[in-house]
Amino acid sequence: MKKRLSLLLTAFLLLISANAFACVGKTLVIGALTTPNEQLLAQLMAVIINERTGTTVNVQYFDDPQKLYAAVEKKEVNIIAENTGRALQRLGRETSGDAEAIYAAVKEGYRKEYQLVLLKPFGKTATADQPFMDVAAIAEGILIEYPALPRVIEKLAGIAQEKNFPQLLSAVESGDKPNQVARDFLKKKRFI
């Protein structure tokens, strides 16, 4: 009886340890355009994901939205810093309604057409006078391996409405490294 229990316990421990290391070597890739706003948002996501989950995160910048979306379709990018205005264009829809209506339309369209899950918005787009918001979109397939990812990223919901967000953006525009600006801000806010 003791021998059988010992064997079962050993098998159980091996199973747990195998699952614990299942994500070792896995790297998430966040895609963003080269604008200071998207660089900052991408780095905020990268730092909070890395610090809170221990997952390796790389940020890849694109100078053309089509290249960004092509990388998503090829599954080379798992998460994107998205804007509801650009997303509407991608979906071929007209800009109509307030920010919440646009967000709801994009959320539904992205899930159906591209298998992307739109998260709670970071806030109103810094450079637009229109009712667009910056959001993150995650490839549905990655959520199987990283089910806590939305909860971690959504800690940043509304971040673009923070009173000192324009100062962070100015720092990036002035040449400060987006990763360091993001890390310093998240430490100050005690998010990491």
SS (H, E, C) the chain: CHHHHHHHHHHHHHHHHHHHCCCCCCEEEEEEECCHHHHHHHHHHHHHHHHHHCCEEEEEEECCHHHHHHHHHCCCCCEEEEEHHHHHHHHCCCCCCCHHHHHHHHHHHHHHHHCEEECCCCEECCCCCCCCEEEEEEECCHHHHCCCHHHHHHHHCCHHHCCCHHHHHHHHHCCCCHHHHHHHHHHHCCCC
> Which amino acid is present at 142?
I
Q: Alpha-carbon distance 134 to 81, whole Å?
A: 7
Q: What does the pLDDT profile of the chain (192 residues) look like in tens digits?
A: 666 545 444 544 444 444 433 344 589 999 999 999 999 999 999 999 999 999 999 999 999 999 999 999 999 999 999 999 999 999 999 877 888 999 999 999 999 999 999 999 999 877 667 889 999 999 999 999 999 999 999 999 999 999 999 999 999 999 999 999 999 999 999 999
Q: What's the domain range around 162?
A: 26-188
Q: Evaluate whether residue 14 is within a structural domain.
A: no
Q: How many domains does the chain have?
A: 1
Q: Evaluate whether residue 9 is within a structural domain.
A: no
Strand partners, 62: 33
What CATH number did the domain enclosing 114 receive? 3.40.190.10
Q: Evaluate whether residue 50 is within a structural domain.
A: yes
> Which amino acid is present at 35?
T
> Which amino acid is present at 41?
L
Residue-level length of the chain:
192
How crowded is residue 163: how many other Cβ atoms within 10 Å of its Cβ? 6
Q: Evaluate whether residue 10 is within a structural domain.
A: no
Q: Evaluate whether residue 13 is within a structural domain.
A: no
Q: Evaluate whether residue 6 is within a structural domain.
A: no
Q: Evaluate whether residue 133 is within a structural domain.
A: yes
